[in-house]
Amino acid sequence: MTESKSDILKSAKLTTIELFARAGGLALGLKSAGFRCRAALEFNKLACDTLRANWQNDDESRSPLIYETDVRNVDYCLLREWVGEIDGVVGGPPCQPFSAGGVARGKNDARNMFPEAVRAVSELRPKFFLFENVKGLLRESFSDYFRYIVLQLTYPALCDREGEDWREHFKRLRHKAQKESASDDPTTYRVGYRLLDAADYGAPQRRFRVFIVGIRSDFRLTPEFPNPTCSSDKKIWDQWVSGEYWDEHKVAIKARPEITRTAKKRAAELRRQYGLFPPPGARWATVRDALRGLPDPRMRNDVLNHEYRPGARPYPGHTGSAYDEPSKALKAGVHGAPGGENMIAFPNGLYRYYTPREAARIQSFPDSYVFCGPTSETMRQIGNAVPVKLAESVGNSLSRQLRGRVMSKDKQFVPALIPFSPLVRKNLDENLSVCIATRNKMEFSGLSLLV
């Protein structure tokens, strides 16, 4: 029996199964947005230990079930019997196949788990799904395979045949997309994707992630994404126009870093544009903002996961994160914590590695969140995580849609991947544009999914 849109509105919380749960950043953010994780699947033992340590005293009446397993061995029909009906499938398939730091072999990498994400959607037929990955997934060299992923998630019932090459399957999916118009078929999904920067949503880190969201077609909803709440302009204003940032941190004028030429030019432009009033919204959070209140790790302290590691030094390509800017993207590293990528560059010219607790704050985990394992492994878990605030923002946007508070009654659905008319083509280009944030401007580059 097909579920109506009203069914999902009766539920107090939207329930999920999470694949590739890692240390729980996505689950924690979605929980804050009103989702309830029923089960988490994760292969890494220490990551599972971290999940257990933080979820065993969960305030829900029923804590999520944690399965330490390879998702390729999961029987989803059996899993559903154990956890009950769920509303959504979420997760972050391993990013190394599409990451610049992970060899970027794409579909040819044994770690590519997108086929398993598609299988979960195909077998569970959830009301919605949400997957995230690195921005390298949008590389031109992966464009055909990315289109293939989107089409598989749009038509999960059209599975690949035994022994069929992915390109042949891709051809059949494209043929189906060309033939079909928008429908309310509950076996298909309306799929959208967006490249988001965690700094735009309150995380103190420039971390780009691709989010792929699908809503089952019978709900007649087109996936939407959150608007940024924080900006570089507001940070520049607070630092170099009003000075509020330095006053807030009690930084004397002599101790402040020298303003860069770029920031100086932008500050002058903002003065002319806004006059006496600041730009709207909140500022990008900086490393200094994130670490406020933490003791110096070189001194004895009782803060969880806050141990000092000596030996930090910059080298070409790894110069650390400026103290008064959002952090560079934390990385997991193939063998745990990488060198120069996960360190702080202080204004006085000194450098220091992030402690695991500091890295967790950069990923917007609460201080009460425990990470299990040696330092190299905890840093790997943290570096692999989805920033909690970014996950919460995406979750809030999706939750509002599913609960019927966003879509207006007269908003017409424009089917993705079906290039019939100039209007459809125009909307397709707009909806599937990738917004790539740079320090001083917004650049738009479209990755066409026309078939």
Residue 316, domain CATH: 3.90.120
Pure H helices in 101-231: 114-124, 143-154, 166-179
pLDDT for position 328 = 95
Q: Where residue 2 falls among pLDDT bands split at 50, 70, 90?
A: low
Q: Do residues 12 and 101 share a domain? A: yes
Q: How many domains does the chain have?
A: 2
* pLDDT of 57 over the 60 cut: yes
pLDDT for position 75 = 94
What whole-number distance in Å separates Cα of residue 10 and Cα of residue 65? 23
451 lies in some domain: no
380 lies in some domain: no
pLDDT for position 106 = 41
60-103 residue pLDDT tens: 556 889 999 999 999 999 999 999 989 999 999 985 555 454 44
What whole-number distance in Å separates Cα of residue 116 and Cα of residue 387? 23
The two three-digit tokens of residue 254, written as one number: 């002599």
What whole-number distance in Å separates Cα of residue 81 and Cα of residue 386? 29
Name the residue with tokens 């398993």: 116
Q: Where residue 318 falls among pLDDT bands split at 50, 70, 90?
A: confident
- Which residue type occupies 18? E
What whole-number distance in Å separates Cα of residue 43 and Cα of residue 415? 36
Q: Do residues 219 and 266 share a domain? A: no
Q: Where residue 180 falls among pLDDT bands split at 50, 70, 90?
A: confident
pLDDT for position 116 = 94
* pLDDT of 40 over the 90 cut: yes
Q: Do residues 223 and 235 share a domain? A: no
132 lies in some domain: yes
Q: Do residues 118 and 215 share a domain? A: yes
Q: Where residue 398 falls among pLDDT bands split at 50, 70, 90?
A: very high
10 Å Cβ neighbour count for 384? 22
Last-in-domain residue among 339, 372, 405 = 372
Q: Do residues 254 and 214 share a domain? A: no
* pLDDT of 196 over the 90 cut: yes
Q: Do residues 248 and 314 share a domain? A: yes
Q: Do residues 223 and 234 share a domain? A: no
The two three-digit tokens of residue 36, written as one number: 């309830």
Q: Where residue 271 falls among pLDDT bands split at 50, 70, 90?
A: very high
The two three-digit tokens of residue 255, written as one number: 């101790």
Calculate Rg over the CA atoms of the chain.
Answer: 23
* pLDDT of 185 over the 60 cut: yes
pLDDT for position 118 = 95
Q: Where residue 27 falls among pLDDT bands split at 50, 70, 90?
A: very high
Q: Do residues 154 and 39 share a domain? A: yes
10 Å Cβ neighbour count for 277? 8
- Comparing 3-7, 89-93, 363-367, which segment has the lowest mean pLDDT? 3-7
What whole-number distance in Å separates Cα of residue 212 and Cα of residue 154? 11
Q: Do residues 332 and 296 share a domain? A: yes
H/E stretch holding 294 reads none
What whole-number distance in Å separates Cα of residue 181 and Cα of residue 177? 8
Q: Do residues 148 and 292 share a domain? A: no
85 lies in some domain: yes
Looking at the DSSP assignment, which residues form a beta bridge with residue 437?
442
Name the residue with tokens 């990013």: 95
What whole-number distance in Å separates Cα of residue 370 and Cα of residue 152? 37
Domain that holds residue 350: 230-372
pLDDT for position 341 = 67
Q: Do residues 151 and 263 share a domain? A: no
pLDDT for position 96 = 54
* pLDDT of 404 over the 90 cut: no
* Average confidence score pLDDT of the chain: 84
- Comparing 218-227, 269-278, 410-419, which segment has the lowest mean pLDDT? 410-419
pLDDT for position 413 = 34
Any idea which residues carry the catalytic annotation?
A: 95
Residue with the bigger pLDDT between 360 and 405: it is 360
23 lies in some domain: yes
Looking at the DSSP assignment, which residues form a beta bridge with residue 296?
none
Residue with the bigger pLDDT between 364 and 99: it is 364
Q: Do residues 307 and 434 share a domain? A: no
Q: Rounded to two decimals, what is the model's pTM?
A: 0.85
User: In a 10 Å sphere around its CB, with 0-12 CB exposed, 13-18 middle and 19+ buried, how is residue 267 labelled?
Assistant: middle
What CATH number is given to the structural domain containing 168?
A: 3.40.50.150
* pLDDT of 109 over the 60 cut: no
